[in-house]
Structure 1
Amino acid sequence: MRATTTDRSSEEPRGSVAASLDELAEIGRDINGGVTRIAWSPELFEAYAWVRDRLEALGIPVEIDAAGNLLARWEVGTGLPVLVGSHLDTVPTGGRFDGVLGVVAAVHAVELLKGEGFEPGRPLWIAAFMDEEGTRFNTALFGSRAFAGGDVRELGDRVDASGTTLREAMAAAGFDLERVGDARRVGRVGAYLELHVEQGRVLEAEGRDIGVVTSIVGLRGYRVRLLGEANHAGTTPMQLRRDAFVGAARIALELRDQARARKDVTTNVGKIAVAPGGANVVPGLADFTIDARAATPESMADVERLVRETVARVATEESLEFDLQQTFSLEPLELDPRLADAVEHAAIIEGARTMRMSSGAGHDAMVVGRHVPAAMFFVPSRGGISHSPDEFSDPSHVDLGMRVLATALRDFLRAE
C-alpha cells in the first residue's frame, strides 16, 4: 500500500521555474508565509502528486518506493542512468526553494529537452528523496540513505514532538519500515547530479551566478540529556543548585566559542526542552541537540572529541548526570572533479559567472556520492537566508540553474 496523492492530472507543465516554485509553496503554506511539509505528512505527499502529474504528462512514469522516495524514470538509450535529485520536505515554517528547486528544475529541464526533440543516449532518473531535513524524527537523509543501501530500520523507534514513532508515521502513510531495504537502487545508477540554492552569502557577495560544489562538510548529530535536581528557585542558594539548563547553556556557548576559533567548523544547539518547566522551579532536566560540522576528516574528528569532552566536563562542574547519544554521522565528501568540470562548462555555455566552492550544508548528494560519481551546483540565496519564510532566490537565477542543468544533461546523457 502507498500513500494516496491528490489528482492534478488536468494540469500541464508550463511557465517559469519561479512560477512552479510559487505553486508548490501553496502546499503546506502557513500563516507566517512559510512552508511546512515534514516527513511522511499529507502535505509532502501532495507535493509529490504535483511533481508526479507533471512528469507523467511528459510520458515519464513515477513511483514511490519503499522508503517514501519519489522516483521517475525516463527509460531510453542504454547503460546506467543519470540520477537528478533533491527533496521536497521542508523544515517547519521553511522556505520555498531549499531542495524544491532541484526537483522542480529537473521537471522543467526534461520539458525543455523533450521540447527540443532531444534523444538521450542513456536513461534519466529523477528523485525526490524522503526526509532530507530530518526535523521531525532526527532522521536526516533518510530516503537517500535507504536508496544507497543503508539500514535505516534502527531509526523506527524515534519519536516526533507528539510522541509518534517513525514506524507509526510510516504505517499511517501506508509504508512498512521492515521493507525499506527494497528501496536500495544505487547500484543501478551511473552518476548523480543535484541543483540547490546556496543557503549562504558567498555567491551574492562575489557577484557570481553559479557555484560549482567541490566538497560537502561532514556532519555529527547528538542528543544530550542533563539531569540535575528540580527545586524551589527562591529558596535554593545559587551555589547549591544543580541546574540542568545552566549546564546546557554553558555547553552551547563553549561549543560556539570553540567553533569560532577553528576554520570551517560550525556547532549549533537547535532544539532544547527543560523540565519541570515552572517559572519558579530550578530545571532538573535539559534535553537538547547538538549539530556539529567540519570540512575535513581531521577537523571532524577534532570536533567530535570536543563535543564529548565539553559535555562531560561541564556536567561534572555543574554536578549533573549526563547521557550523550550520537544520532547522526557522515564524513566529509569530495565530489567528482570530472563531473564538476562538466557542470562548470555547462554554466559557461549558458553565460553564467561561476566559482568553485564547498558546501556547509548536508545534502542527499553526500550520501549518493559515496557510491557513484556525483556533482552539485548552487544558485545564489538572497542575503544567505534559508530555512526561513524569507528564503529567496531571484527568478533569473532559478531559471539559469534549470538551463545549466539541462545543458549538463545533454552532455551527461550521451551514450556510454
Structure 2
Amino acid sequence: MNPRVPIEFARCELGLSQSPTPAWVLDAASLTFRWANDAALEFWGADTREALFARDIITSAPKPVVERIRGQIARCREGERVSEEWIMYPNGQRRTILLDVRAILLDEGKLGMLLQAQPLAGVASEAVERNVAMHRHATVILGLASNTGALLAQNPAATATFGEREGWPAWFEDPAEAGRILEATLADEVQRNLLPVRTLGGERRWHLVVTQPMRDPVSADIGVLVEHLDVSAQVEAEALAETTQATLEIVERQRREILQLSAPLLEVGDATLAVPLIGRLDRERHELLMAKLLEHVSTRGVRRVLLDLTGIAEVDGEAGQRLVQLIAALGLLGARATLTGVRPALALELASTGAALEGVAFHRSLARGLAQRRGLDGRGS
C-alpha cells in the first residue's frame, strides 16, 4: 500500500473503539472533534461525546501550540506518521503523553486526523516540564546540530522558519558558512555571526547566529547548540542610514560645487577680473565669494574687479551690507570695484546702508563695464 495514501477510517473504527488507548479524530481543516472512543472521553474528562464534540480546543490554545498542531497536520498530509511528546491539560489535568498523529479518510471523503495518546511511563519533574514548555514556545530559533551539521533537534520556531531540512547548513544562504562556524565552535569557542539565511518560503533574512558546544544527552557526543535571532529590521535600518548618509554627502558636495559655479572668476584683461554673481547673495555664498575672490586678488595682483549683479534674484535684507564689506576688503588689497547690473531692490539695500561708495563705478550691464575698461566707449555708463 502507498504510505502517502490515507487509510479509510471505516476500516479501523471498530478496533479503535475497543482500544484502551485514548483515540479521537479531528477534522483536518477546522480541527474540530469528529469521533472519539470511550478512553478518549475519559482522557478529556467529557461525560458524553456531544459535550466533547462541542469543545473548541483551538481558539483558547496559545499560538505556538496551534502552529505546532498545524505543522504536524501538514506533515501528515504528505503521508508522514508523526509521534511527538506532548504535555496536555484535558479538563485541567496535566498529562504527559506520546501523541501519535496520522491522516485518515472520513466517510464523506474529507481528510481527518487520527490522534492516539499513549501515556508515558514515568513523569518528568516540574522543572524539566517547564524547561520543555519554554523550549517549545520560545520565539527564538533553537537547534542542536551534530559535529557534521546534521540536525538532531529543533524547536517549533525553527520548524516554522526553515521547515524540516536535512541539516543546519541548509538554513544559510551560503551553507559553507555553517561549516566554518561548526569548526570554530567545536574548538570550544562560542561564535557570534551576522549572516543571511533563506527561510522555508525562500525569503532572505538576516540572523544573528550564536553557537556553543553542547553534549548530546542521548548519544553523549559533542554537538553544537545553535540559536538564531532575526535582526533583519535592524540590519535594513542601518543599511538605509548608511545609504542616506552617503546621499547627503553627495548632495552637499554638489551644493558646494554649485556655489563655486555661482560666482566664477573670469580674467578679462590685464589685472582685471569679472565676477558674475548668480542666485541669492546670502551669508554662505558671501563668505565663499569673499574667501575665493580675496585670495585670487592677493595672489594674482588684480587691480580691478567688475562685480556683475544682474543674476542676483533675491536680497535678504543684508545683501547691501555684504557688498559694502566686500568692496571695502577689495580696497584694502589695492583693487577697485565696479558694480554692474544693479537691480532696484539691491540699489535700495545699498542706499540704506549709508556707506560712502566714493571711487566705486556703476554701469547698467557687464558689457558696458567691460567696454569702459577697454576704453571703447569712454567713461559713459
TM over 0.5: no
| Structure having the larger proportion of residues in strand | 2
TM, length-normalised to structure 1: 0.21
Q: Which protein, 1 or 2, shows the higher relative CO under an 8 Å CA cutoff with sep ≥ 6?
A: 1
Q: Which has the larger radius of gyration?
A: 2
TM, length-normalised to structure 2: 0.22
